[in-house]
Amino acid sequence: MANDSTASLDQSSSSMNCGNGNFSYSKNSTLQRVGSMKANTIIEEVIADRLIIEKFSTSSNTVRIADLGCSVGPNTYFAMQHIIGAIEKKCESKGLSPSQFPEFQVFFNDQTTNDFNTLFTCLPPEKKYFVAGVPGSFHGQLFPSSSMNIVYSSFSFHWLSQVPKEVQMKDSPSWNKGRIFYASASDEVAQAYAAQFAGDFDSILSARGKEIISGGIMFTFMLALQDGCHPSKHILSFFLDAAGSILMDMAHEGLITAAQVDSFNMPLYLGTPKEITGLIERNGWFSIERLKFLDHKPGVDEPIQPSKNTAHLRAVIQDFIRAHFGAEIIDELFDRLHTNIAAHRDLHLSLSKAGVLLFVALRRK
C-alpha cells in the first residue's frame, strides 16, 4: 500500500515535472505553447498602443520583465523573446535606432521546488536579455516597489495559494469527501473554492500593483469558464474527475486509503470573465486593456490523442499526486486514466470544444 499518511499537505507548493524525461513538463507543454501563441498578435497590439516608452527612457534605460510561474521548457523563452521583439518594434516606430534600444532584464519566477537548473541550462544562447531567477510564490510581492515594466504569466493564476481549508474538514458542509476537485461537488465546495480564488487573485493584483510602474503592463492567460457555464463542462474538470474516480477505485482495492483521497484536493479554480472583471475593478490597481477568450481547442483535422492528453496532465499534476499518495501508484493511476480518456473519446472531444482559455491585458494606473 502507498504512503498511509492523511496529514494535510501543502498541496499548492508542488511544481511541474522537472527535467527532460518522457513525462517532464518541458516535453509535455505544447498545449500551453499553442494557447500562448494565439495571443501574440494581441500582445503586440497592446505594447504598440499602450506601452509608454518614455517610462523607461531614463538614465538606466533598462526594461524589466518578469514571467511568473515560468516552470521549465521552451514556452517561457518564446514568450520573453516575443515581448522583447514587440518592444523593439515599438522603439523603431518612435524613430529610435538599435543603439538607442533599452537593455532588457528578465526575471523567471516559480516555486522554490521548480527545476531552475533545467530552465537556465536550456536558455537560448542568442537571447537578448540579462537573466535572474526569483523563487517564491507569486501570490505575494516578489520585487521592489515600482521596479517592473512588464509582468507576464501563462497558465498560472488559476492556481490557488492553498486548498480551501473548509473542503478538508470532516465537520464542514464544504467537506469534499471522495473527490479531488470542486467541479462536480456540492455548491458549498464550489463556494469555498470561489472565495479562495477571490482572495488569492486580489493578493496577486495588489502585489503586482506595487511592483509595476504606473503605465506598466501585465499579460496573463488562465484557464477559465464562459459566464454561466458549469465547471464540470470544462475539459480539465473531466480529467480531474476521472482521476478522482480512479483514486477511489484504487482505495477500494486497497492500494491507497479512502482517507487519503478524502484529504486530497487540487488547488485550482476556473474563474469566469464576470468574476475576474469584478475582482480587477474592485482591486483598483489596474485598468483592463483586453479581456477575451482565445480559441484553444483541437483543430477540425486534429484527432483526439489520449496518450498525448494523459502525458500533458501527468506533467502538471504528478508531483501533487506523488507528494500525497506516494510514488508507487503513479504509473498505475495514469495508465488507467489513459484508458478512461480513450473510452470517452467522443465526450472528450465535445469538452475540448467547450474548454476555454482567458487572455487578460492590464495596465497599471
Spatial contact of 6 and 264, defined as CB atoms under 8 Å apart: no
Q: Using the 8-state DSSP alphabet, how is residue 102 labeled? A: P
Strands (E), the chain: 62-68, 103-110, 130-135, 148-154, 212-224, 286-294, 356-364
- Grid cell, residue 252, equals 477500494
- Grid cell, residue 298, equals 483541437
| Buried-exposed string 264-302: b where 16+ CB fall within 10 A, e elsewhere | bbbbbbbbbbebbeebbeebebbeebbeeebebbbeeee
Model's pTM, two decimal places? Answer: 0.89
Spatial contact of 15 and 115, defined as CB atoms under 8 Å apart: yes
Is residue 312 scored above 50 in pLDDT? yes
Which pLDDT band holds residue 22 (cuts at 50, 70, 90)? low
Average pLDDT (174-196) is 98
- pLDDT per residue as tens digits for the range 261-271: 999 999 999 99
CA–CA gap between residue 220 and residue 153 (Å, rounded):
5
CA–CA gap between residue 54 and residue 52 (Å, rounded):
5
pLDDT score of 159: 96
Mean pLDDT lowest for which of 22-31, 240-249, 275-284? Answer: 22-31
Is residue 250 scored above 50 in pLDDT? yes
pLDDT score of 349: 61
With CA atoms as reference, report the closest residue to 299 among 43, 34, 37: 34
Spatial contact of 172 and 166, defined as CB atoms under 8 Å apart: yes
Mean pLDDT lowest for which of 24-38, 68-82, 141-155, 260-274? Answer: 24-38
Coil, strand or helix: which one is 99? helix
Q: How many CA atoms lie within 13 A of 15 on its CB side?
A: 21
More confident residue, 28 or 92: 92
pLDDT score of 94: 92
Which pLDDT band holds residue 11 (cuts at 50, 70, 90)? very low
Average pLDDT (179-191) is 97
pLDDT score of 297: 53
Average pLDDT (292-298) is 70
Which pLDDT band holds residue 28 (cuts at 50, 70, 90)? very low
With CA atoms as reference, report the closest residue to 146 among 210, 61, 69: 210
pLDDT score of 122: 86
With CA atoms as reference, report the closest residue to 49 among 112, 94, 107, 18: 94
Is residue 156 scored above 60 in pLDDT? yes
Spatial contact of 271 and 157, defined as CB atoms under 8 Å apart: no
Percent of the chain with pLDDT over 90: 68
- Grid cell, residue 317, equals 499534476
Average pLDDT (81-103) is 94
Is residue 301 scored above 80 in pLDDT? no
- Grid cell, residue 88, equals 523593439
pLDDT score of 128: 93
With CA atoms as reference, report the closest residue to 84 among 149, 156, 159: 149
228 Rama class: left (phi>0) / alpha (psi -120 to 50) / beta: left
Average pLDDT (36-64) is 84
Is residue 53 scored above 60 in pLDDT? yes
pLDDT score of 7: 37
CA–CA gap between residue 105 and residue 330 (Å, rounded):
39
Average pLDDT (336-353) is 78
Average pLDDT (135-148) is 97
More confident residue, 124 or 191: 191
Q: What is the dihedral of CA 119, 121, 127, 128, to 10 degrees?
A: 70
pLDDT, averaged across the chain:
87
pLDDT score of 352: 56
Average pLDDT (341-351) is 75
Q: What are phi and psi of 220, to 5 degrees?
A: -145, 145
pLDDT score of 198: 99
List beta partners, residue 292: 359
Percent of the chain with pLDDT over 70: 84
Is residue 231 scored above 70 in pLDDT? yes
Q: What is the dihedral of CA 77, 360, 150, 107, to 10 degrees?
A: -40
Q: What is the dihedral of CA 207, 208, 211, 217, to 10 degrees?
A: -170
Is residue 216 scored above 90 in pLDDT? yes
Domains of the chain: 30-364 (3.40.50.150)
Q: Count the Cβ atoms, other than its own, within 10 Å of residue 256.
A: 25
Which pLDDT band holds residue 8 (cuts at 50, 70, 90)? very low
Q: What is the dihedral of CA 163, 218, 99, 145, to 10 degrees?
A: -70
